[in-house]
């Protein structure tokens, strides 16, 4: 069972590396999915680097609404009905919701600045120091944006400070962040679907590994106390 767990850990790490490489290529146009390349392989230089000739550059504030929540951490309720996004990777719960729809969320300050991101569709609430990016334009797919933003935002805010860390995020750090866009929303959706499928595969492997660990723990309790004897 130990060998199986180690094997699953190695496979998960490999799949994560493959996904990371795919994100770097697909989200910047270095690799195009079949049927979408209308540039003939030609590239151009823009603010974020080289992209296909038929891609464009825009700023987040032109394609989404940027706000913060109004709740405090103490508003959380254990076993609450709705997700409550705070300045942590852990999603708390609450019995009220202020928002209903698609959104990307990131911590505005704290140890998770530039490192914590969430994507949601549905009813939820938000801490007053968490940014909510929502109401995406017809030019921007929400999950495509989540993938690009969560991959590149930390580097952006580090370039905007002379310190080795960032204490807080200012709205303009998000609003004026440039994002390269494929020429059609269909290509964004296709890229998001490919990367989402990779995420699902990794999640399934993680669940299998965790189940195996739990099974091993149960077997140890039985075998090491003699409750179960080997034949």
Exposed, middle or buried: residue 98 (CB in 10 Å: 0-12, 13-18, 19+)?
A: middle
Residue 41 has what pLDDT? Answer: 83
State whether 96 and 26 are in the same domain: no
pLDDT < 70 stretches in the chain: 162-164
State whether 175 and 195 are in the same domain: no
Q: Dig out the tokens for 106 from the structure.
A: 């990131």
State whether 138 and 191 are in the same domain: no
Residue 109 has what DSSP assignment? B
pTM of this prediction exceeds 0.85: yes
Q: What is the pLDDT of residues 17-40, one digit of tens each?
A: 999 999 999 999 999 999 998 888
- DSSP class per residue in 140-195: --HHHHHHHHHHHHHHHHHHT-SSSS-SB--HHHHHT-EEEE-SSHHHHHHHHHHH
Partner residues linked to 93 by β-bridges: 83
| Own/partner pairs, 48-52, CB within 8 angstroms, 24+ separation | 48/152, 48/178, 48/179, 48/180, 51/180, 52/182
State whether 69 and 165 are in the same domain: yes
State whether 63 and 145 are in the same domain: yes
| Residue that finishes a domain, picked among 181, 196, 215 | 181
Residue 38 has what pLDDT? Answer: 83
Tell me the residue range of the domain where 158 lies: 56-181
């Amino acid at each position: 069972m130990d060998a199986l767990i180690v094997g699953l850990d190695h496979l998960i790490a490999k799949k994560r590396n493959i996904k990371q490489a795919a994100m770097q290529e697909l989200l910047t146009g270095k690799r195009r999915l079949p049927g979408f390349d209308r540039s003939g392989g030609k590239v151009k230089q823009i603010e974020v680097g080289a992209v296909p000739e038929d891609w464009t550059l825009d700023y987040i504030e032109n394609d989404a609404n940027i706000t913060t929540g109004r709740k405090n951490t103490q508003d959380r309720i254990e076993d609450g009905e709705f997700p409550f996004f705070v300045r942590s990777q852990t999603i708390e719960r609450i019995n009220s919701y202020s928002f209903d729809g698609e959104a990307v969320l990131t911590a505005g300050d704290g140890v998770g600045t530039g490192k914590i991101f969430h994507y949601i569709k549905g009813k939820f609430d938000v801490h007053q120091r968490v940014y909510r990016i929502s109401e995406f334009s017809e030019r921007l797919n929400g999950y495509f944006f989540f993938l690009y933003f969560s991959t590149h935002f930390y580097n952006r805010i580090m370039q905007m400070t002379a310190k080795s860390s960032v204490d807080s995020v200012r709205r303009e750090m998000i609003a004026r962040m440039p994002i390269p866009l494929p020429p059609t929303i269909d290509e964004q959706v296709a890229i998001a679907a490919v990367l989402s499928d990779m995420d699902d595969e990794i999640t399934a492997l993680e669940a299998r590994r965790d189940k195996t660990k739990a099974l091993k723990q149960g077997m140890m309790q039985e075998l090491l106390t003699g409750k179960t004897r080997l034949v």
